[in-house]
Structure 1
Amino acid sequence: MTDRAKKRILLWFRNDLRVHDNALLASLPAGAEAIPVYIFNPVQYRKTTYGFPKTGAFRKPFIEQGVTALKENLKKMGSSLIIQSGNPAEILSNIAGRTNADTLFFTKEHTAEELLEEDQVRKALPGLHIQSFEQRSLIHPSDLPFMLSQLPDVFTPFRKEAEKNLKIRQPLPVPYILPPLPAELQNYPDDYSALGEVEYSMTDDRGVMTFHGSEEAGLKRLNRYFFETKAIATYKKTRNGLLGADYSSKFSPWLATGALSPRLIYSELKRFEQEHGANESTYWLLFELLWRDYFRFVAMKYGSLIFQRQGIRGSGANLNINRKAFDLWAGAKTGEPFIDANMTELNTTGFMSNRGRQNAASYLINNLKGDWLAGAAYFESMLIDYDPCSNWGNWMYLAGVGNDPRENRVFNTARQVSMYDPQGKYISHWLGD
């Protein structure tokens, strides 16, 4: 087969910044030429209506690190990565025209902006064969024990059915070698301009750990948490912790960018159980992965409703935005030490514990009578591990317009402190004595 007659496949990387368990790579036909592309879409880096950036100062470098590392990994396999900034539909159309590509592979996303992006790409490439892959969840959507339209609106029935009929696909193999880029793309210049200024010095020694966006860093964290420290063995006891690297897995940043595959995590969890035994803690990590899946399936079922004030329930108060209250909350100046400590951690590191997130969200919604949409948007901006399905699903849940079977879930801050920071170590760690 001559070079000109070879199949040329565009591989559009998005939130799948890895070479392990990646259907885009594993599905390449023998003899085909691959053109891997990543595009920084300026839409994701603009300012929100609230005045803060959609992608903030902590997540930007984490994503950039993941993209750069992916390029290096693809180079080791004989290929490379075309890195561009701009409208994905226009850029992919331009590259397809320049290279006579005939096929496009990409990982499917499930929320409004990403679905619009996909639709625009499909319209811009009418002559190409387009194949999308479901690989953002632990359970493949087609392996669910019910139709998506029948997804329970409460987590527990979903979990019970999922566990009863649990089908987790094996991680896909990593290709040993990939074909080189076509000659006309060998010296294609990278364009990171959509990111704007990226600040790498925004670290704070008080943070739980240093996060680097590369696939290698994610794999190292997985190995450390499971096999070096064996901290997974006590996860159920420590998961509500507030200080230190190992009270929880901290896999979420790499799951968000796709630098870690949930199926690989599950596969390694099963290996740990075989080598060291299963217990409540190893089960609880699966439990949390199922929560993550659940919010993704909720987004698939309800679409843009998860971003609307009245949520999937279509009910709830139409609160006016109390900007002053929101600014106090976001600025860690509410006067409630536990809330301010958590918001200080978020503002200085881009991370916050699950316990902290629940308390901070509840305080804004219930104590300050603030707009949950503004809170969710702020978390989107600040969190290094932002995932639209989990973030908006959790906020909707706590606002009483989502998947919580209880009408009003209000966190009593004083009681939470007595349970989770009784000696005030966390508060003093972030606010001083």
Structure 2
Amino acid sequence: MSNQAANNSENNNVTLVLFHNDLRVADNATLLKASKISTDGKLLLVYASSLTDILDNKDHYDAYRYEAMGQARQQFLHESLADLNASLIQRGNRLLYLQKNLAALDTFAQLSELIEQQQVTDICISQTADYNQNKVYDLLQVKYPKIQWHVQTTATLFDGLPLEHLPKSFTQFRKQIETDYDLLHAEKDIAIYPTPESLAPLPENMQSRDECFFESQWSNEAGRDKPSQQPSSFRGGELNGLTHLYTYFGSDAPSTYKTTRNTLDDWTHSTKFSAWLANGSLSVNTVLNRLRRYERDIIANDSTYWIWFELLWREYFYWYAVTHQQKLFWFKGIAQHAPSTQLDENLLAQWKSGTTQYPIVNACMNQLRTTGYMSNRGRQLVASCFIHELGLDWRYGAAYFEQHLVDYDVGSNWGNWQYLAGVGADPRGCRQFNLDKQTQQYDPNGEFIRQWQGNTQKSD
């Protein structure tokens, strides 16, 4: 082979990684795969926001979604991307950030232009439960049939559904998993993928483009100068996620988790792993290994087991979303009947603004808008109120959570809302909470309600 032919062969090997919910370099099978197949070629590392805007989902999704991502969730995402970018720069590449704006094409068109201009030969993605994101991947594969796709597992404990069929309830799922796979007490830790020490470079024609719109928009939208509206310890990115993981397991908090996890507003009373797990800044395998170590070295009790229990809930809802796909967004869910609720714009506005007649609900909603976070107990209370006291279409509540939660996860969010609305994975049907009783149990002195101004109602 001539030198020119060899150079052409090298130039034709262009790999593109399309990050989604895998924003890390450690234990990232997708990034590792890309680093291996691009050894003698070039590498494009891309995060594209709003890709799903290209889809026509008005019948079952767009009708009740909210356009703008909440400020706290957006900030957490930008912090995560900034951290990922810093890690990629250390390894010889950088993150290309595609986003929708008035001066440019939509992100799907931008991505298509990038693929064509750079003559991409391989695309690496992580497996996802996000139905709409998967539809975008399908469109790309149809549009570029000659590109080779590589799909890796980065978000779950299992590469595929670990059982022959997904059980109808979480309890059945948990029992089968614990019978067939004793991950919590297995002899060896869960295997962790090595972190690439270096990455192939960008194509030459992009390395010298200081005006590249990917980079300029990335810099303008980093959001670092904006005042934080998140709890002081909620900072996005792999480094912050790992720091929190080791700080948490370096404390006594795991040994009391089961008794404190329903606290409405205390940083140490629940694990707070969910935000970093949701966007993939933190690996679930890394979390499980650290839990196993805590049980070996410190203590194994009901509380440490309950952390594993919650990881299994996350796993269940992931495969729930994969199994039911677009039914995750349907009014009747996976059930055979629709709930007896409807849309009332005035009641919806009261719920969102924290001006209902229920102080505990108002406090939780004010906390969500301000911080992008709400405790697990709070989420159950405000969702129960939304569905049962206010009689609203559950999908609008789920979409509002999607807009604002820093730990938004498609399967857990929509699956839990279906669960509470009685159209999901719950053999007992609707779950309704007595708000007065719950207030007395979880905020008996009214401290949480006062802190988040739950008693404040706007006049009609």
TM-score (ref. length: structure 1)? 0.91
Which residue, out of 222, 236, 239, partners 1:213? Answer: 236
SS of residue in 1 equivalent to 2:71: coil
| 1:172 aligned partner | 193
1:261 aligns to 2:283 (yes or no) = yes
Mapped partners of 1:32, 1:151: distance in 2: 42
| 1:36 aligned partner | 45
SS of residue in 1 equivalent to 2:125: strand
| 1:230 aligned partner | 252
Which residue, out of 105, 109, 113, partners 2:128? Answer: 109
| 1:357 aligned partner | 379
- Counterpart amino acid of 1:344? N
Mapped partners of 1:259, 1:209: distance in 2: 18
| 2:158 aligned partner | 139
| 1:53 aligned partner | 67
Mapped partners of 1:20, 1:363: distance in 2: 40
Mapped partners of 2:22, 2:256: distance in 1: 29
Mapped partners of 1:181, 1:225: distance in 2: 38
Q: Judge conservation of contact 2:51–2:136 (CA < 8 Å) in 1.
A: no
| 2:370 aligned partner | 348
Q: Judge conservation of contact 2:30–2:154 (CA < 8 Å) in 1.
A: no
Q: Judge conservation of contact 1:12–1:105 (CA < 8 Å) in 2.
A: yes
The count of aligned residue pairs is 426
Contiguous gaps of at least 5 residues in structure 1: none
1:395 aligns to 2:417 (yes or no) = yes
| 1:411 aligned partner | 433
The within-5 A match list for 1:264-275 is 264-275=286-297
How far residue 328 of structure 1 moved from its aligned partner, in angstroms, is 0.9
The within-5 A match list for 1:76-95 is 76-85=90-99, 87=106, 89-95=108-114
CA distance 1:73–1:127, change in 2 (3 Å): same
CA distance 1:113–1:264, change in 2 (3 Å): same
Q: Deviations over 1:86-116 (max 9, x none)?
A: 5555444433333333211111222321111
SS of residue in 2 equivalent to 1:240: coil
Mapped partners of 1:122, 1:287: distance in 2: 37
- Counterpart amino acid of 2:9? A
Mapped partners of 1:191, 1:230: distance in 2: 43
Mapped partners of 1:233, 1:309: distance in 2: 40
- Counterpart amino acid of 1:178? L
The within-5 A match list for 1:365-380 is 365-380=387-402
SS of residue in 1 equivalent to 2:44: strand
Q: Judge conservation of contact 2:54–2:108 (CA < 8 Å) in 1.
A: no
Q: Judge conservation of contact 1:137–1:262 (CA < 8 Å) in 2.
A: yes
Q: Judge conservation of contact 2:363–2:454 (CA < 8 Å) in 1.
A: no
Mapped partners of 2:345, 2:149: distance in 1: 45
TM-score (ref. length: structure 2)? 0.86
RMSD: 2.6
How far residue 167 of structure 1 moved from its aligned partner, in angstroms, is 6.5
